[in-house]
């Protein structure tokens, strides 16, 4: 047993490079009952890629096409899900300067939840896996995601080095533009020259909530954060679009579907934290493990993007005939994206987009 544990540890140290997020409590500045989930998308220290799939090579193909049987089994802990509406409302806080390419790719990603490419994997079909997550009243997660508002803090009013408390301050400030929406998520996006506490060390994105207070109109407000790691640590937060910082040197990164490693990496991580926020918004919904460091819908299938995935290999992806870019879902118009597999509570497998 000891030798097997050592082998797993050694292999993890070599190959840890998937999309995983640890969940460490983030105490609310408004109420000491606030909480949060924090994680890094590629090669998370607390939850190595190897730990989320079958030990016999990173994953075991299941009966469903492309599905990978996960070792971890998420459980429902009795709390609320974001399930009170047909769509989950999203409000974006842009913090710092984003290129037009990055910004349009992200906005189009949110527009893609309402589009469905018949006969092909799409953003909207990818999201439908979350509908299988039910609460005590058998209500599923909102069937779509809708961008309802944006506010631009391009001048970086709190500076270019942000603490976790600063993120909450930005969310509170955004409520001057957005409603305190119990059915929505405020998503703070930080630009490539903004460093957030823990980023590139143990986090690429996170989700949490503001406890009810006068500032929130008595509502719990879910929020998330994702940073652009294109220049800071692409190997940590944008794998497989960049070579893993700790992984096999022979791996050749795939081409970013929208031509921007930072933006496309953000979209992968946005997808992951949105799935977590929808199914576990208040840290008492669907997750596995200790409440302070657990796996959720979007993080339980680390490093799996396509059929046949294993540690260090994202799985079989589609390739654009013109650009050579790799993707696994289509979006609005001609958009293509790369999104992580979600854990399916019905089949209890990691289901890549199909």
What percentage of the chain carries pLDDT values higher than 70?
79
- Residue 276 is encoded by which pair of tokens? 């977590």
Q: Evaluate whether residue 3 is within a structural domain.
A: no
Question: What is the C-alpha to C-alpha distance for residues 135 and 133, in angstroms, rounded to an integer?
Answer: 7
Beta bridge partners of 344: 349
Q: What is the pLDDT of residue 174?
A: 98
Name the domain count of the chain: 1
Helix, strand, coil abundance in the chain, percent, nearest 5: 20, 25, 55
Q: Evaluate whether residue 213 is within a structural domain.
A: yes
Q: Which domain holds residue 84?
A: 16-351
Banded pLDDT at 292 (limits 50, 70, 90)? confident
Q: What ranges make up the beta strands (E) of the chain?
A: 35-39, 60-61, 68-69, 75-76, 87-95, 144-153, 161-162, 184-190, 195-196, 205-210, 221-227, 286-287, 318-319, 326-327, 329-330, 336-337, 342-344, 349-351
Q: Evaluate whether residue 163 is within a structural domain.
A: yes
Q: Evaluate whether residue 4 is within a structural domain.
A: no
Predicted TM-score of the model (pTM): 0.84
Beta bridge partners of 151: 93
Q: Which of 318, 320, 323 is nearest to 352 (CA)?
A: 318
Q: Evaluate whether residue 6 is within a structural domain.
A: no
Exposed/middle/buried for residue 301 (C-beta within 10 Å: 0-12, 13-18, 19+): buried
Banded pLDDT at 154 (limits 50, 70, 90)? very high
Q: Contact, 352 vs 305, CB < 8 A?
A: yes
Question: What is the C-alpha to C-alpha distance for residues 351 and 304, in angstroms, rounded to an integer?
Answer: 9
Q: Evaluate whether residue 289 is within a structural domain.
A: yes
**What confidence tens digit (pLDDT) does each residue in 199-213 have?**
999 889 999 999 999
Q: Evaluate whether residue 7 is within a structural domain.
A: no
Three-state SS at 191: coil
What CA dihedral angle connects 115, 117, 120 and 125, to 10 degrees?
30
Strands 87-95 and 144-153: parallel
Of residues 23 and 151, which shows the higher confidence score? 151
pLDDT at 69 over 70: no
Q: Evaluate whether residue 47 is within a structural domain.
A: yes
Q: What is the pLDDT of residue 90?
A: 98
Question: What is the C-alpha to C-alpha distance for residues 40 and 1, in angstroms, rounded to an integer?
Answer: 29
Question: What is the C-alpha to C-alpha distance for residues 114 and 344, in angstroms, rounded to an integer?
Answer: 21
Question: What is the C-alpha to C-alpha distance for residues 56 and 307, in angstroms, rounded to an integer?
Answer: 16
Question: What is the C-alpha to C-alpha distance for residues 336 and 73, in angstroms, rounded to an integer?
Answer: 30
Q: Contact, 305 vs 59, CB < 8 A?
A: no
**What confidence tens digit (pLDDT) does each residue in 232-287 have?**
999 999 999 999 988 777 789 999 999 999 999 999 999 999 999 999 999 999 99
């Amino acid at each position: 047993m000891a030798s097997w544990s050592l082998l797993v540890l050694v292999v993890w140290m070599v190959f840890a490079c998937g999309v995983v997020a640890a969940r460490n409590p983030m105490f609310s500045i408004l109420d000491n009952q606030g909480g949060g989930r924090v994680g890094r998308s590629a090669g998370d220290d607390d939850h190595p890629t190897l730990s989320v799939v079958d030990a016999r090579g990173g994953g075991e193909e299941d009966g469903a096409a492309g599905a990978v049987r996960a070792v971890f089994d998420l459980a429902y802990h009795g709390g609320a899900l974001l399930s009170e509406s047909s769509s989950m409302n999203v409000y974006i806080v842009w913090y710092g300067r984003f290129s037009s390419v990055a910004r349009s790719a992200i906005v189009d990603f949110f527009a893609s939840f309402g589009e469905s490419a018949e006969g092909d994997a799409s953003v909207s079909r990818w999201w439908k896996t979350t509908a299988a997550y039910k609460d005590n009243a058998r209500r599923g997660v909102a069937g779509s995601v809708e961008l309802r508002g944006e506010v631009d803090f391009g001048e970086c009013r709190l500076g270019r080095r942000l603490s976790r408390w600063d993120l909450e301050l930005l969310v509170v400030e955004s409520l001057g533009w957005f409603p305190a929406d119990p059915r929505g998520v405020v998503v703070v996006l930080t630009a490539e020259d903004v460093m957030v506490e823990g980023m590139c060390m143990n986090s690429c994105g996170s989700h949490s909530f503001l406890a009810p207070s006068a500032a929130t109109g008595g509502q719990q407000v879910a929020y998330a954060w994702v940073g652009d790691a294109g220049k800071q640590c692409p190997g940590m937060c944008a794998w497989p679009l960049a070579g893993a910082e700790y992984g096999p040197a022979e791996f050749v990164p795939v081409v970013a579907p929208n031509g921007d490693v930072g933006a496309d990496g953000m979209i992968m991580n946005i997808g992951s934290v949105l799935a977590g926020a929808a199914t576990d918004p208040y840290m008492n919904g669907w997750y596995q493990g200790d409440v302070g460091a657990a796996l959720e819908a979007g993080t339980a299938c680390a490093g799996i993007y396509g059929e046949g995935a294993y540690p260090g290999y994202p799985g079989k992806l589609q390739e654009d005939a013109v650009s050579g870019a790799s993707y696994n879902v289509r979006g609005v118009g001609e958009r293509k994206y790369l999104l992580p597999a979600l854990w399916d509570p019905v089949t209890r497998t990691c289901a890549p987009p199909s």
